[in-house]
Structures are given as C-alpha cells and as structure tokens.
A and B are shown apart, each in its own frame.
Chain A
Amino acid sequence: MKQMLTGNTAAAWGARLADVDYIPAFPITPQTEIIETLAQWAAAGEIPARFVTLDSEHSMLTAGGAAAAAGARVFTATSSQGLLYGFELLYTVAGWRVPFVLVNVSRGLASPITLEPDHNDVLAARDSGCLQIHAETCQEVFDSILMAYRIAEDPRVLLPVIVNLDGFSLSFTREPVELPAVAAASIYLGEYAPGHAWIRGERPMAQGVAVLGGAVYSYFRYQMQLAAENALTVHEEAAAAFETMFGRRYGLVDGYRLDDAELVLVMSNSFATKGRAAVDLARSEGVRLGLLRLRLLRPFPREAIRRALAGRRAVAVIDQNLSIGLGGITVGEVAHALYAERDRPPLLSYVGGLGGKEISDQEFRRIVSDLMLAAATGETPPPRLLFTAAEARQMQTLLSIAGKEGAG
C-alpha cells in the first residue's frame, strides 16, 4: 500500500528498511527531518540502530567511515554547507573503501545564503570517490537507498554512495511512496560482511595508511577508479534484482518520450519533473522533444548517454549548478560522452534553477526554439543563464529596497 511521504521521510525509511546498525548525525536544513525521524524511531526502540549526534559533519563522516570499517552498516545524511564542512573526510573515507550511504539534500551554497536547491553542493563531491545517485521522486529516494547499499557493499565496488534529493521540492514534498515489507528488503540486501576492512580488537589493522612514492599512490587511487567503473555493471544487476522483487526498474539514465525524439533536454533531480511537462507541452504543439534524466552521476554512464543522444538533431543540457568561471558542470561531461561520435548533435548549455529558481514554461519554450534553430543551422548558441524579464524587474525592486546605489 502506498502512503504519502516526504522525500526526507522516504530517506529515513530507506535507512530503516536497510536495517542499518549505526547513524552518526548532525542537523542542517533541509535535511534535519531525516535524522529527527530516525532519532525518534531509535529512541522509541522501533529500530535497533545506534543513533549518535556528533559535533560536526567532519566528525560525523569520520565516525561513519570508522564504523563501516568495523563491519557496521552505516547511514548518515547532510546538506549543502554541512557536506562542505565534512569534505576532507569524504575523500579520506572513500579511500578506506568502506560502503556506507550518505544522503545529501541539495541546497544552494553560500554566499548569499539560501535554503532552496541546486546541485553545487553534491557536485562538489563528484571527484571524491563517493558514487552518486540523484533521485527525481520520493519513491526513487527510497528505492535508491536500498539499491545504494547493494551496490556499495558489492566486493567489486566497496565505495560510499551519496543519494541526492532536492531540498524543498523533494525533501518537504509528499508523494505516494510504496514501502516493501521488512523481510523483502532484507532479502534484497543480505548482510554486510566485509572481508577486507573488518577492524576488531583482536585483529588490529591500519586503515588508509601513508604511502611513499607516486607509484604506490597511483595504484591504490586507480583501484578506486576501477571499482567505480565496476559499479556500472553492479548497478544493472542491482536494478534487475530490484525490479524482480519490487517491480520498479531504474536505468543508468532515465528517459521520457525519447524513442522518436529529435530534440532532447538533459536534466537531473526533481526539476526533471518540470522537464517532463515541458516535453508534453512541446509534443502537444507537434515538436518531437524528449527528456534524458541523469540519474547515476558517479560513475558517469558515458556509454549509456552516448547511446541515448547520438543521432539526435540537437540537445540542450540544463545544469542546475554553476562552476564559477566555467558555467554548467554536467554539459562538459555530456560533451565528453558524445565527442567521439561522428554524428554528434549541437549541444546547447543552460544554467537554470539556481537556488531553486523556477524554470517557467516561457524559459522551456526559449530552449525549444533555440534547439530548433540549432537543429536547422547546425550552429550552437553561447551558454545562457535562464533568467526572465520579470525576475530582472523584481531584482531591481529588491536592490533599491536594500539601499543599493545605482540600482533601478
């Protein structure tokens, strides 16, 4: 039976049905509801996990990594500035090859301060060795957490997995979510029994030791790259088993009305839902538009993306992130996937939805008309920020209220 759950509560249920042993925690908006929910369950004895609040995200990730190295199944969650505060440990703990799951609830980074979502926080961690699954719906949040444990704990992978959901538009939004029975979830996951990193009092070991010499360093770092590449195969196995048990199938990427699409939008996370509406609107006007949703960001499913986009007449990537001094982040990765294609489409780059900014019908229409022009001429327009005249006017009003000289 389905029930109405927020993305945050769905994430807490993911931890609960994964039967985690240890939850190191630190609050931050918009993630706090996840750890509040888990804290309540732990206090009421409804889950056997040990719930501990730490003094910071840095300590939280240290504790999480150490517990995972001692054989505990670990769940933790953070957001935005919190993820950055624990950043050093993301890299460190990934190098220990310990498979915990970290939920990140996306929130734009300071400054200025905001609470609403974009993906600069989670994408900052893209080189850390943590794998990344980005969810579009509350159901996918729950499902991805179960899948994440299965992928992370596979001996071919053994890397932490970050499951990402958007603040507000998923974290505080309720949608119907189907939760499996406890027994089914535990059959799907099996037991976490690491052979390589099982610290015990009677069996001491040193983790993440110092190495002298680049060759030794290169060897171990490249093992992580190979492990991440293995995760492409392991993801497909985990997705197939998930479908068999629970009836829902997740691909490396997700498509909507792609089969006969000539023009394609590439998006990720919860705003991809708005992209689906834009596709329906364009289709109702006779434009063959489709949507490709990036779901697995690390490892980057280059081949799946190449297959999905090769031969299209034009493709537009909407990055809900901004690498200052570069522009959108994922458009470059998509370009990499397509570069070897002889028949590669013009690739248009947009930055939109920063700090949770709405992407209106009018903005989607602009992208579609740019795509049609690019398809006709083969020429690619320069990258563009999605920002409307009405928003510019509102900005002028706010600037003058703030007492800014020269505004207006």
Chain B
Amino acid sequence: MIRVRFHGRGGQGMKTASRIVGTAALLDGFIAQDSPVYGAERRGAPMVASVRIAEAPIFERGVIPAPDLVVVADDTLLDDPAVQPLAGLPPTGGLLMATAHSEEEARRHTGHPGALVARDFLTLALEQVGSAAGVSAALASAACAMLGLSGPAVVAAIGTELEAIGLSPDSIRANLRLAESARAGIQRVELPVRSLAAPRAGSPVVDVAYAPPEVGTPSVTARPNTPLRRTGNWRVFRPVIDPAKCTQCWVCFVRCPEGAIELDAEENPHLDYEVCKGCLICVEECPTGAIAKVREMREWAPSEVTR
C-alpha cells in the first residue's frame, strides 16, 4: 500500500487534489480510498486529506499517521505546531510542496533527505488559470507523476473531479494544461510498499479517573483559548487597511468572522494579525476599496520546523 497525505487550508482545493489522485489510482486498476478531515469547516483552517492506494482491500481508515508521500499546498503550514505536515514522514518518503522558495531552501528548511519537489505552483496556477484554486490540479498532477500513475488516468481523473465540483469545460481545459506543465520533469519516486502499516511506538492504555466537576465537565473559562491553533498563521494573503481611503463605515468590523478588527478611540478600524486568518471577507466587503491584499511571505528559520 502507498499512503499519501495532503496538507492545505480550507478553500485551497486539497480535497479535490486528493480525489484526483484517488480516482487516477482507481483508473489505473488499484483499490483506492480518499478522505478529507477538516476541523469545524472554515476557509483558511488547516485541513488534511489522506489517500491510500493498494492492490488488496484496504484495512485502514482515517488520517494517515506515517505517509509515504506528503503534499503541502501552503508552506506557511510547515511551521505550525498544530499541523506538523512532515510528522511521520520517513527519510525514504517523498515530499511535494508548493512554495515560492527555491528547492534548495525547501530542503534546508525541512531537512527532508528523500525525494523532494518544491515549486511555485501558486504562481504557475495564477499565470495559467488565473486563480489560486489551480494549485489543486497542479499539485495533484505532480503527485501523480511522483507516484507513477499513468498520464491518461491523471487527465481523466482531473476531468472527472473538476466537473464534479462544477467547473466549466473551458476551465477544465485550462486546468489540464496547467496540470501538464506542473508535472513536467517530475520523475517517478520509488516508495517503499508496505502492506501492514509500519509498526509505531504506541502509547499504553491507561485508566481514566473521576475528576471534580470543575475539571470533568466540558466548559471553558479562559480567554483567549487558542494557543494551539493561532489563526494568524493561516493567511496566504494579508489584508492591509489604507487609512486615507477608509470612511469609517465599519463594514469590515461587522463582517469579520474572527473578530480580528477592532475600533480605536477615534473609531478607525485596526487589524489584529495574530487573529486575522486571511479569509479576505473584509477586502470583498469594504465599499471604498480601502483594504488591499498582500501576499504573505514569511521568513524561514530552520529551527522552526516541527515534525
């Protein structure tokens, strides 16, 4: 069995990418299983999708703990301790990522010694299909190339899955062209085929004791209570308010789903970038166009990588 784990954010199309790989594997004669997991569904929230490809019935379910290939749609996820996209990836496994950094930088930053493909699939998608959503077909195509799935199966799978989410024939054709260039030059990677999951050091079964009701009931008394899941690092684009254009209408303040916009004493809106998840609703809603969107480029410090 080959196990592929996708990491992205809600809205980046990694569920569709995983489905393209699953369908391509089925078309190539394998048994496949694909499944996405979201938290409470929110655009921008980290999500995971798992694809298992095998020649015999698959006796596993849920998120893949030890993948053979990891696909990362968004390099901001690498440094998120709540996500840990590289967790469980063996040195012999493959890593595919969309990043504006170079492949050398990606190798240095991740420390992954095995097969690595790191390209700016987002820019490629923006150029070729005019939308960030193209990353989905681009990464799926590149992943299929690394897995050695056949070209015709990939083309058919992209057609099937993009049609299923309602894309027009023109848009599907553009995505197929994008998929073609995304896989250019990518070689099949020899991945270890393991029928039983690699045995892992597990954690022993323990007793659960009665706790007093202050502890043992599901209530929350702290605020803020998101240190494990800082929404500020979800952003791919950063909203930036231009005070010169702002008319203080407060539309952004009212519409922000995260409460990331606060008003100061003069009633000017300000963004809290620790909390702003980058959904860009404020950019859409601002009637005067006072909020710009700026591509996030985070600095990489090697020590930050969590795995």
Binding site for B on A (CB under 8 A): 2-4, 111-112, 115, 168-169, 172-176, 270-271, 273-274, 276-277, 280-281, 284, 358, 360-363, 365-366, 384-392, 397, 399, 401-407
Contact = CB atoms under 8 A, between A and B. Distances in A.
A12 to B, nearest CB: 13
Contacts of B36: 172
Contacts of B199: 361
Contacts of B200: 361
16 contacts: A4-B26, A169-B61, A173-B33, A174-B19, A174-B22, A175-B32, A361-B202, A362-B204, A362-B205, A366-B204, A401-B225, A403-B222, A404-B214, A404-B221, A406-B211, A407-B215
Given A270-B61, A276-B59, 19 more contacts: A4-B26, A111-B218, A168-B35, A168-B37, A174-B19, A174-B34, A174-B35, A175-B33, A274-B61, A280-B59, A280-B196, A361-B200, A362-B203, A363-B205, A388-B206, A389-B204, A389-B205, A403-B222, A407-B215
B61 A271 contact: yes
B61 A391 contact: no
Contacts of A388: 202-206
Interface string B98-141: 00000000000000000000000000000000000000000000
Contacts of A366: 204-205
A5 to B, nearest CB: 11
Given A4-B19, A4-B26, A403-B222, A274 B59 contact: yes
B214 A174 contact: no
B204 A277 contact: no
Contact of B62 (A169, A365, A385): A169
B304 to A, nearest CB: 20
Interface string B220-260: 11110101100000000000000000000000000000000
Top-3 shortest CB links A-B: A362-B202, A403-B222, A390-B203
B26 A176 contact: yes
Interface string B37-61: 1001000000000000000001111
Contact of A169 (B35, B218, B222): B35
Contacts of B35: 168-169, 172-174
A389 B34 CA distance: 29
A403 B203 contact: no
Most chain B CB inside 10 Å of its own CB: which residue of A273, A274, A385, A386: A273
A110 to B, nearest CB: 9
Contacts of A271: 61
Nearest to A395: B208
Nearest to A137: B57
B215 A174 contact: no
B31 interface: yes
Contact of A277 (B34, B59, B215): B59
Most chain B CB inside 10 Å of its own CB: which residue of A281, A361, A365, A366: A361
Interface string B191-216: 00000110110111110100110110
B26 A2 contact: yes
Interface string B80-100: 000000000000000000000
Contacts of B37: 168
Given A280-B196, A403-B222, A392 B61 contact: no
A362 B202 CA distance: 5
Contact of B34 (A4, A273, A384, A405): A4
Contacts of B223: 403
Interface of B: 19, 22-23, 26, 31-37, 40, 58-62, 196-197, 199-200, 202-206, 208, 211-212, 214-215, 218-223, 225, 227-228
A173 B214 contact: no
Nearest to A406: B215
A385 B208 contact: yes
A4 B202 contact: no
A14 to B, nearest CB: 19
Given A174-B34, A388-B205, A112 B59 contact: no
A392 B208 contact: yes
B203 A389 contact: yes
A311 B228 CA distance: 50
B32 A402 contact: no
Nearest to A390: B203
B212 to A, nearest CB: 6
Contacts of B228: 397, 401
A405 B215 contact: yes
A402 B222 contact: yes
Nearest to B39: A115
A115 B36 CA distance: 14
Most chain B CB inside 10 Å of its own CB: which residue of A277, A365, A399, A404: A404
A175 B61 CA distance: 11
Contacts of B58: 175, 273
Given A169-B35, A173-B34, A406-B214, A273 B60 contact: yes
Nearest to A350: B205
Nearest to B222: A403
Contacts of A280: 59, 196
Contacts of A397: 228
Contact of B227 (A112, A392, A401): A401
B220 A277 contact: no
Given A403-B220, A403-B221, A404-B214, A389 B61 contact: no
B222 A401 contact: yes
A403 B196 contact: no
Nearest to A275: B59
B208 to A, nearest CB: 5
B196 A284 contact: yes
Contact of B206 (A270, A392, A401): A392
Contacts of A404: 214-215, 221
A257 to B, nearest CB: 11
Contacts of A276: 59
B215 A399 contact: yes
Contacts of A3: 26
A366 B34 CA distance: 29
Contacts of B22: 4, 174
A118 to B, nearest CB: 14
Contacts of A385: 208
A399 B40 CA distance: 20
Nearest to A392: B206
A407 to B, nearest CB: 5
Nearest to B61: A169
Contacts of B196: 277, 280-281, 284
